[in-house]
Structure 1
Amino acid sequence: MSVFGEFHVPSNAFALHETLNAVSEMVIEIERVVATEEVLTPYFWVSEVNFGTFEDAVAKDPSIRNLEQLDEFQETALYRAEWTRHVESIVYIYTEIEAVVLEATGSNERWELRIRFDDRDELDTFQRYCHERNIAFDLRRLYDLSQPKTGGQYGLTSKQQSALVAAWEAGYFETPREASLEDVAAELDITQQSLSKRLHRAHRSLIANTLIVSASEPSQPT
């Protein structure tokens, strides 16, 4: 059974530390990582920063190369790049144990990651790997799909669950809506872009762990 782990990692023990340190107000959210035998290509959103300032900082950061902007909105932009150094743990996750980083958000203080492992043995292998190499992965939360009446049952992070509950309680899902995205974001003290992405990922997790899981199970007699 799949196991979900939420980890905190000091920014100086992970990728893009020099960039995050140089632009302290910035937030990076990894959308996905494409893995091959030779290179890991992250796609990530950057917000709360001047994009030119961010790109100048990346040019001096040895952990990343070949940065390319793909899309730009009012306060956020999507980039693609390649990991180089200081990403031994991420390389191991993708190439050796084939776990999946579902969500990763970085600031100048730390990275917050949510990783899906196929089972607890895979999780134990990963933790042992980090311990042997002094990689500071701090496990904050662990859950699987069997946990009842919690967001973890559906693969939700605590932030995603809070966003869904706040939006529901505010009437965001009513027709007509009783609250705007801006209203809910203000209540949670986050930007509208962050809330929008958090709700999108929450909906994706709910579908993946309810409708998709159910559809793959043998049909029951009616």
Structure 2
Amino acid sequence: MSPAARWLAGAALAAMLALGGCAPFASHGPDAPSGTQAGEVPMLRLPPASLGRTLQLQQQITVQYPSPQGEQTRDLLALLEADAAHTRLAAVAGGQVLARLDWDGRDLRVTRAPWAPPELLPERILNDLQLSLWPVAAIQAALPAGWRMEASAGLRQLRAGDEVVAEIRYPDARTTLFAQHRDGYRLTIRTLQEQGGAR
């Protein structure tokens, strides 16, 4: 299981047990972009203002990942606030906060509950969040050579050469399906409550 899948699964599991999505992903594809280590998936750190709107979201995240025991599924609640100055995310389980992230375009601040697993990867959560929500033009401008973001109605694909590394689908206005093919995990993100400015 990949580091991100371990974090997301471990976060949900640890919280459920206690209370009742930084090392980049290493990958093995042949199309390594210049400026990264061989096959490494680039990590986005887009300025909050590049989102171009404000958001307040409450989202249910279901994580699916492979394991020796077969496919595993875990759930957690994410609270997202984004404006021109900050991107903030809280992971919640059992009514208590498991971890918080605050990104102001310069510094990434993370706090964890004592029971949070050591695999917690805030940079990967921020990256997947920005791949899903930020404008395609802002994502494309931040990608290194050899990488690109392709978008069509209801679909985004992060590509390294001809390889589809990650795929994001939007089957309806409140659902995001995120598949990270290199690392084998999938996220189903359902928006429960939303307040946000115009796109």
Give the TM-score, by structure 1 length.
0.28
Give the TM-score, by structure 2 length.
0.31
The answer to which structure has the higher helix fraction is 1
The answer to which structure has the higher strand fraction is 2
